[in-house]
Structure 1
């Protein structure tokens, strides 16, 4: 996929004055649903499992990530080794080598990614089956401070690809994943957003590159961004699920990372797959399934999950190295409803 083209520059010029707004997403159940009120309209609730008549997901002729995808993590803030291992394991689980995938029990992370792969561009090229973990960059000292605006995230990407030593490579399949530690406060984090994706502006970074940001909410708002491993106070009578990797913040991040990568692959330049009329505020393929992790999910209910017999941890997909994860479902364009590999009807 060609990342820099003339038509995109016109879009970029129009957006330079505004911060990126694609996918202002929160995984916890909305108040209007838990409070018993009826949600109305696409903006009021994005849970439309089995309700295709309300979903107007459209293709807007832009590219999808059809070439081999390389995910480059950028670790901003101090990150313990084990937390990095968990996130790396998830990224490696998206498209493991065939011999390794054969050893992973069903349902698998790779099977979850196959739903994302159903999305195509105008040449009928699907989202790539090849997803690999690429070079990484760390900024443990938080060179841009512990408080970041949305535009600062682009500066973090610029620092990583323009570093004097071991810069991250720039290529057509590169995706840049900025991961902030619990010490870092990002604009709108916890209040309106747990993660977002967009593309970098050439005037800021020098390239047009798809990127995403996800924050670790463990110290600030796990009940907001690590649901269902922490539960909001307004959800009564519900106990939090036990995280599969024994880390509420990181296990919560994994689902947000999955959400953002699915949308980044199917709508990298804000002109491919989404519902709604405003490309800066689209409803994308994971937004449509917010809060749904299993059959019957919706509202304050996650749906049917799997439970580890020893630890009691909740999960819905298996990954590389014996890891387990809980990831949100995404919209299936063939079935026209939310689905995942742990669905009871598969």
Structure 2
């Protein structure tokens, strides 16, 4: 979470040069799925290079010094409260609800690699007592703000005013839960937020008592389908002039919302491990880099630079994804930094 950007998630530069050596591992796949490489038509002489027993190639760096700064992490059970700002279709809400429910699924667990398996890496982070980030993440009460009470152009302060309205509403206010509540403001594709598309696709911070009345972690994520899908819905949309093949189709059939899912995961992971800007981060406290910032754009083994890493592409519908969720849903979610291994890690790694 970076105060000047408040934990903003940037899409990776699709046209940037290679930043890491690419490694190819053998992947056994079913007849329904295949692995996707964005530059399959090009020759890569380093693809067969072996690093021996070293697995530290996804975002790894000896210069990354992620440190704990003695602040709290979210060890109590987490309840995510979505605030739907603007017009949202029921189908769009179902996709996002399913992702949140997949973090701690009830009943039969989805087949691996799963969203819950991805969250287990987040849960490795601890506070000063040794207590871990909770693995219990639930979908809580929701609030609709269809008429856009703060207008259709928001800044960082008006975002907090939206949250204040949600927790102080005369009818069905959201519960106030400073210890385990995460307030997730989701703006529809016709709402703009300062720095959206230019610098950030989402951000997180904590509410000010002077505005909301409480100090609570919150995040904002916007639907980029209308404004900048090639920035915030990458790799399902790419900038004009990009000559390589596309990753595949959005797995839930909604470009903007499928693009939001990874941003939501990014912000939830950072809120859990650094809710008040004084727990886990690397770098200067005035511009900290958090556990998801370190792995932006990496979704699978070998990822880095302009390459997502290995994804699964379903032969039936062309959907590209890396995680399974509840109800047969599929999602694409970036990896996060592993605190013990010191590299970007996910449950769909081919080297496990």
Shorter-chain TM band: 0.7 to 0.9
Pairwise CA distance, 1:35? 4.4
User: Whole-Å Cα distance in 2 between the matches of residues 30 and 55 of structure 1?
Assistant: 23
* 3-state SS in 2 of match to 1:295: coil
User: Whole-Å Cα distance in 2 between the matches of residues 306 and 56 of structure 1?
Assistant: 31
* 3-state SS in 1 of match to 2:210: helix
More helix by share: 1
Pairwise CA distance, 1:239? 2.2
The question of whether the paired residues in 2 share the 8 Å contact of 1:23 and 1:281 is answered with no
What's the counterpart of residue 189 of structure 2?
Answer: 182
Pairwise CA distance, 1:50? 5.4
Is 1:26 the counterpart of 2:32? The answer is: no
The question of whether the paired residues in 2 share the 8 Å contact of 1:28 and 1:223 is answered with no
Pairwise CA distance, 1:52? 3.5
Higher relative contact order (CA 8 A, sep 6+): 2
* 3-state SS in 2 of match to 1:138: strand
Select 1:286's aligned residue among 289, 292, 299.
292
What's the counterpart of residue 243 of structure 1?
Answer: 250
User: Whole-Å Cα distance in 1 between the matches of residues 350 and 241 of structure 2?
Assistant: 29
What's the counterpart of residue 33 of structure 2?
Answer: none
The question of whether the paired residues in 2 share the 8 Å contact of 1:235 and 1:300 is answered with no
Aligned residues: 315
Select 2:85's aligned residue among 55, 76, 89.
76
Q: 1:26 to 1:48 in 2, by over 3 A?
A: farther
Give 5+ residue unaligned stretches, structure 1.
Answer: 1-18, 39-46
CA deviation map 1:223-270 (0-9, x unaligned) = 000000001235432424211001110000000000000000000000
User: Whole-Å Cα distance in 1 between the matches of residues 9 and 236 of structure 2?
Assistant: 17
* 3-state SS in 1 of match to 2:108: helix
Is 1:148 the counterpart of 2:190? The answer is: no
What's the counterpart of residue 50 of structure 2?
Answer: none
What's the counterpart of residue 340 of structure 2?
Answer: 334
What's the counterpart of residue 100 of structure 1?
Answer: 108
Give 5+ residue unaligned stretches, structure 2.
Answer: 21-55
Is 1:206 the counterpart of 2:213? The answer is: yes
| 1:79-158 superposed matches below 5 A | 79-97=88-106, 99-101=107-109, 104-158=110-164
CA deviation map 1:30-50 (0-9, x unaligned) = 66xx14689xxxxxxxx9725
| 1:222-233 superposed matches below 5 A | 222-233=229-240
Taking only aligned residues, the RMSD between alpha carbons, in angstroms, comes to: 1.8
Q: 1:301 to 1:37 in 2, by over 3 A?
A: closer
Q: 1:36 to 1:254 in 2, by over 3 A?
A: closer
User: Whole-Å Cα distance in 1 between the matches of residues 105 and 339 of structure 2?
Assistant: 24
Is 1:308 the counterpart of 2:314? The answer is: yes
What's the counterpart of residue 42 of structure 1?
Answer: none
The question of whether the paired residues in 2 share the 8 Å contact of 1:62 and 1:121 is answered with yes
The question of whether the paired residues in 1 share the 8 Å contact of 2:224 and 2:233 is answered with yes
Runs of at least 4 residues of structure 1 off by over 4 A?
Answer: 35-38
Pairwise CA distance, 1:282? 1.2
User: Whole-Å Cα distance in 2 between the matches of residues 305 and 345 of structure 1?
Assistant: 14
Q: 1:36 to 1:67 in 2, by over 3 A?
A: closer
CA deviation map 1:123-175 (0-9, x unaligned) = 11100111000000000111111100111111111000010111000122110
CA deviation map 1:285-328 (0-9, x unaligned) = 00000100000001111100111231011000000000000000
User: Whole-Å Cα distance in 2 between the matches of residues 327 and 77 of structure 1?
Assistant: 25
User: Taking structure 2 as the reference length, what is the TM-score of the superposition?
Assistant: 0.86
